[in-house]
Amino acid sequence: MKTITAAAILRETLAAELTADPTVMLMGEDIGVYGGAFGITRGLLDRFGPQRVIETPISENGVVGMAIGAAISGCRPIVEIMFADFVTLAMDPLVNQAAKLRYILGRQASCPLVVRLVAGGGRGYGPTHSQGFAAWFVHTPGLKVVAPSSIADHADLLHAAVQDPNPVVFLEHKRLYGWREPVPADRPVVGLETARTVNRGHDLTILAWSWMAVEAAIAAERLAADGITAEVIDVRCLQPLDMATINESVQQTGRVLIVDEAPRSAGIAAEIGCRVFEASHEYLEAPIRRLTAPDIPVPASPPMEQLTLPDATTIAHAAMGLMETLQ
């Protein structure tokens, strides 16, 4: 079993997709000689040439729109958005074009597009380089939204996203790029629309995704030392949601904590919490608890950023609080 970072496995996966399918192409800023701002596409221009690895000017709106035009013409474009924050400039093609093609135009239109967003805070990049916007995309019918946490999932879900005939927003957390995990060579095939149970537990369910699932797993270890067993579920696909796996867990544990590093209002944690309540309220032994960022921009100052984002310590604390709650 090899130990590998998310950055390296993403690079391997992109290379594998480019090799396996001549219609796959990459588009993005500085993805050529520079190798992408985070090095994800390093070496790919040399291996696959400028027809497959297309370095673009700084024109997110135009580039994502062009990727849609290529996708409806039989290509499978994968666009890198250097920082998820910049996808605001490409909201029109994503929301008004890509997301609607299939529902409106029917079977004649297929838009197999992957937009990779470099998302998330915790690196001191400040208010306009630390966001993810997953909730916006979840709120747009016609887009699939994926946010992997495990290193293996970075490969498996990216592969599934490229194979998917729909536009997929693929959120990569920049804190995971250097994160290392052992990855077995032969693994079962993973579908896009499934949650992943990280570890079993019977006292409460912690739902998280992307970097927050890593923090949740660390929190679960600490809780175990205090005699609390938390079942951590990596939600990983945010649209559509695998509510079956989530509700099954909540109905076993009776308590649920939902962790999201995005701002609180109208967030994904709110959506999941509401759906859990609708399906599992009679099993709940405590109120549903959310742990999110407050409704503020992400500050650049390290201690202020740390206060903003949930982490293993605040997750464990919230879990303890939830265990003390009696219905």
Judged by beta carbon, residue 65 or residue 201, the one nearer other proteins is 65
List the structure tokens of 138.
């979840």
Binding residues among 34-53 for other proteins as defined by CB under 8 A: 51
Q: Does 103 bind other proteins (CB under 8 A)?
A: yes
Q: Does 243 bind other proteins (CB under 8 A)?
A: no
> Catalytic: 281?
no
> Catalytic: 317?
no
**Of 318, 309, 313, the residue nearest 120 (C-alpha):** 309
Q: Does 199 bind other proteins (CB under 8 A)?
A: no
Alpha helices, H only, the chain? 6-20, 44-48, 60-71, 91, 99-105, 134-138, 151-163, 211-225, 243-253, 268-280, 302-308, 312-324
With a CB cutoff of 8 Å and minimum separation 6, the contacts of 283 are 250, 251, 254
List the structure tokens of 245.
């796996």
Name the minimum Å distance from CB 177 to other proteins. Answer: 28
Write down the catalytic residue from 17, 29, 80, 129.
Answer: 129
Window contacting other proteins (CB under 8 A); options: 32-40, 99-107, 214-222, 248-256:
99-107
**Of 238, 221, 24, the residue nearest 112 (C-alpha):** 24
Q: Which one of 12, 16, 37, 100 is in contact with other proteins (CB under 8 A)?
A: 100
Residue 106 CA: distances (Å) to CA of 96, 109, 145, 165: 15, 6, 21, 13
Window contacting other proteins (CB under 8 A); options: 97-105, 174-182, 198-206, 295-303:
97-105
Active site residues: 60, 129
In the complex, the residues that contact other proteins under the rule CB under 8 A are 25, 51, 54, 56-57, 59, 61-75, 92-93, 96-97, 100, 102-110, 141-142, 144, 165-166
